[in-house]
A = this chain, B = another copy of it.
């Protein structure tokens, strides 16, 4: 089909999980594309229908209807517009009970479409960026911790040791994201309360020996940035954005900045 020719390849972002993370992924794709004019940018489509997807953490912890159904519906919408490389900028959605269902449904109906796996791309990035034995810290939602998505993906890189916050600290990080008054999902720009919690928990992981920190929930880079913390950060949304460009039009990938 002509729409999948080299010039018509397009990136599709299944957003809405959460909405800000979807828009953030789009920005990071544009920022990592080597262009001098608007017209040199890659074609990109974004869906953001959070009501039809549902809460990923709630499903993982309590069951109910699987968010994979809504994600798959969005995938079909993006494909109908011409998207050939799909990404889901949401860590929790990559837990196997959700992502494996989405991946199988999509592979069965559209084997020609590339669905990138954010956690696997991030594990690969870490394995290559830190070639020596290294300890890495993880900040994430309770759902992501409970499902062990990062530890499992990093098994392929045995020289990387992953450390996670204590149970109590995991609750605090989760609260900084989800609290309906001051959480990142409820308040933009990020509240002082949420930022204070996250800075404290980030420093605790560094004190325990982490050389870099995975921002393992797509809301976290809204709070923890070069401007708010001076320690090395790994943003899986940036890793995913760069992978999406590489799979779509590799010549347009910007050089990595330090």
Binding site for B on A (CB under 8 A): 10, 16-20, 22-24, 26-27, 30-31, 35-41, 43-52, 54-55, 77, 80-81, 180, 185-186, 188-189
- Chain B residues positioned under 8 Å from A38 (CB to CB): 16-19, 50, 55, 185
Between A and B, 16 residue pairs with Cβ closer than 8 Å are A16-B38, A17-B38, A19-B26, A19-B30, A19-B41, A20-B30, A26-B26, A31-B188, A37-B185, A38-B185, A41-B50, A43-B51, A44-B47, A46-B46, A47-B81, A80-B80
A58: min CB distance to chain B, Å: 10
- Chain B residues positioned under 8 Å from A185 (CB to CB): 35-38
- Chain B residues positioned under 8 Å from A30 (CB to CB): 19-20, 23, 188
- B55 to A39, Cβ gap below 8 A? yes
Contact of A44 among B19, B27, B77, B80 (CB under 8 A): B19
* Contact of A35 with B186 at beta-carbon distance under 8 Å, contacts A19-B44, A26-B22, A43-B51 already known: yes
* Contact of A16 with B31 at beta-carbon distance under 8 Å, contacts A36-B180, A36-B186, A81-B47 already known: no
State A100–B185 Cα separation when bound (angstroms). Answer: 38
Q: A22-B26, A44-B47 are in contact. List 7 more A-B contacts (CB 8 A).
A: A10-B49, A20-B30, A35-B186, A36-B186, A39-B51, A43-B50, A46-B46
Classify the secondary structure of A's interface with B: mixed
A167: min CB distance to chain B, Å: 24
A71: min CB distance to chain B, Å: 13
A75: min CB distance to chain B, Å: 12
- A37 to B188, Cβ gap below 8 A? no
- Chain B residues positioned under 8 Å from A37 (CB to CB): 55, 180, 185-186
State A42–B188 Cα separation when bound (angstroms). Answer: 16
- A43 to B39, Cβ gap below 8 A? no
Q: Nearest 4 CB-CB pairs, A to B?
A: A46-B46, A36-B180, A23-B26, A18-B38
State A134–B121 Cα separation when bound (angstroms). Answer: 54
Most chain B Cβ neighbours within 10 Å, of A36, A39, A47, A77? A39
- Chain B residues positioned under 8 Å from A36 (CB to CB): 180, 185-186
State A23–B237 Cα separation when bound (angstroms). Answer: 15
